[in-house]
Amino acid sequence: MFGLTALALLPLRGAQAQLEIEIISGNPSALPIAIVPFEWRDATPPPITSVDQIISGDLYRSGLFDPMDVEDMAEKPLEEEQIRFGTWRLLKVDYIVIGKVRTPASGEGHELVYQLFDVHTQEQLLSRITTVGPGDLRFGAHRVADAIYEALTGVPGAFSTRIAYVTATGLGNGSRYELVVADADGYAPQSIVGSPEPLLSPAWSPDGRKLAYVSFEKGNSAIYMQDVSTGSRELISSGTGINGAPSFSPDGSKMALTLSRTGNPEIFVRDMATGRSEQITQHWSIDTEPVWSPDGRYIYFTSDRGGRPQIYRVPAGGGNPERVTLEGDYNARASLSPDGRKIAVAQGKGNEYRIAVWDIETERFTILTPGKLDESPSFAPNGSMILYATREGDRGVLSAVSADGNVRQRLVLSEGDVREPAWSPVIR
C-alpha cells in the first residue's frame, strides 16, 4: 500500500492526451500568406507533419494570418528565381515563404533555410538559416514562424514557447491530477508530476527550465520546484497553514509566495540562494497571488483588505501597499504584460467571471472574454495573447484570447478538466 502511494506521488514523465486547438473567432483582416512546402533535402526521413504545415498552423492560430491551403497553390516554387509574383498576386496572396530543410555540415540536426517575400513589391523581407539539434525539427519550424511573425507585425513571435497546465480526471477517491508541459501549439504533452491530490498554481522560472507549483500530496498545501527536463524536484515550503501562489522574480533569484503561518495569508519573498523568507505584507485580510512587475521593482497581489478582492502593489522589498484596480466588485489573480503596462485579471460581477485587462496608465478596464467562469489569465511572453481557464458545461477547458480581444481560440482535451495554464518565457 505504501509502495503504491509513494509510486503514485513520484514525479513522472509520460505522454498525455493532446490538446486540440480551434479558432472560435478570427480576425477578418488576417494577412493572406503562402507557406510553400519546404524542399526536403535532409539525410533523415521526412516527418509526418511537414515544417511548412507547422509554420502555417502557428500563423493561423495567431489570428493575424490567413495561410493558403497547399491544394490551392498553382505553383510550388523552391528557389527565388522560380517565384512568379504575378501568379501569387492573382491568387490574392500578400506574402510568400519558400524554403528547404537540410542536414548541416556537422551531420547533426537540421538546417531550415528560408526566405520571405512581399508579393506586391517583390522585396525580400527575410533570408535566414535556423539550425536546430536532432529531434528539434518542430522547434525549428516554430522558430521560423516566430521570425515571420516578427518581420510582418513588429512583435517577436511566441510560437517556440511552451505551456504548463493541470489536468484533473475522476471524482472523489478516484481523482487524478497531472501537471503537464506541452508546446505552445498543444503538441508533445508530457506529464511532469501526477498525484491523487490536487495540484495548482504552476509558475515558470524565467529561464523556462523549472516550474514551481502547489501540491496537496502531503494532506496540506505545499510548494515544490521541479526541473522540467530532469524531473528532479525540491520542497520549497510546507509550513502550517497555506503554502501557495509561487512566483519567480524576473532574475530568478527570489520567489514570492503566500504563507498563512501568521494566522492569515500574507505575501513573503524567499531568497532562492539562502532559503530565507521575508514577510512583505501584514494585514488581517487575505493577501495572495503575488506576481512581479517585469522590472522586478513591485509585487502585485490580490487582497480583500478593502472588503472585496482587488489588485494592490507593494515595493518588492516591502513598504506600503497601494490599490491598483479601481473599478469592479472582484478583481483577482493578476498577470502582467511583458511591458508592465497592463494587468490581466479574473473579474467577477455577480456569478459571471471574465478576463479583463487593466491599463495602468489610463486606469481603465477592457473586458476580453464572454465568461461565465473565466479565470487564471496568463500573458504570452510577447504580450500578444492571454491564455486562461474557462468552463464548457461541466468541463474545464483552456482558451486563449488576443490582447485586443478580437481573436479567441479553444484548447480542448479529449477527456477530463484542463485548468491553471501558465505560458512559459521565451526559451533561447
Partner 1 sequence: MNTVLRLFVALVIGLTLAACKTAPEAQPEQPPAAKPTPPPVETAAAPDPRDYSDARNFDNPESLLSKRVIYFDFDKSTVRPEFRGIVSAHAAYMAAHTSARVTLEGHADERGTREYNLGLGERRGNAVSGLASAQGGRSNQLTVVSYGEERPTCRVSDEDCWAMNRRVEIVYTAR
Residues 263 and 273: beta-carbon distance below 8 Å: no
The yes or no reply on residue 357 touching partner 1 (CB under 8 A) is no
Q: Give strand ranges (E) for 228-286.
A: 233-237, 243-248, 254-259, 266-271, 277-279
The yes or no reply on residue 330 touching partner 1 (CB under 8 A) is yes
With left for phi above 0 and alpha for psi between -120 and 50, is residue 208 left, alpha or beta? left
Please tell me what DSSP assigns to residue 70.
G
The yes or no reply on residue 332 touching partner 1 (CB under 8 A) is yes
- CB 51 to partner 1: min, Å: 38
The yes or no reply on residue 367 touching partner 1 (CB under 8 A) is no
Residues 328 and 356: beta-carbon distance below 8 Å: yes
The yes or no reply on residue 424 touching partner 1 (CB under 8 A) is no
**Toward partner 1, which CB reaches closer, 237 or 376?**
376
- The piece of 34-42, 52-60, 303-311, 355-363 that touches partner 1 (CB under 8 A) is 303-311
- Residue keyed to cell 495567431: 62
What are φ and ψ of residue 171, in 5° steps? -130, 150
**Toward partner 1, which CB reaches closer, 245 or 299?**
245
With left for phi above 0 and alpha for psi between -120 and 50, is residue 416 left, alpha or beta? left
Give the CA radius of gyration of the chain.
Answer: 23
Angle value at C-alpha 343, between 342 and 344, nearest 5 degrees: 120
- The piece of 26-34, 95-103, 239-247, 402-410 that touches partner 1 (CB under 8 A) is 239-247
- CB 400 to partner 1: min, Å: 18
**Toward partner 1, which CB reaches closer, 157 or 246?**
246
Which residue from 171, 295, 361, 362 is in contact with partner 1, where contact means CB under 8 A?
A: 171
- The piece of 30-38, 92-100, 203-211, 302-310 that touches partner 1 (CB under 8 A) is 302-310
- CB 424 to partner 1: min, Å: 20
Question: Helix 51-61 vs helix 137-153: angle between axes, to the nearest 10 degrees?
Answer: 40
- Cα 302 from chain centroid (whole Å): 21
The yes or no reply on residue 289 touching partner 1 (CB under 8 A) is yes
Q: Based on the number of CB atoms within 10 Å of its own CB, is 258 exposed (0-12), middle (13-18) or buried (19 or more)?
A: buried
Residues 183-202, interacting with partner 1 (CB under 8 A): 198, 200-201
Site residues for partner 1 per CB under 8 A: 171, 198, 200-201, 216, 219-221, 241-242, 244-245, 258, 260, 263-265, 286, 288-289, 302, 304, 308-309, 330, 332-333, 346, 348, 351, 353, 372-373, 375-376, 391, 394, 420
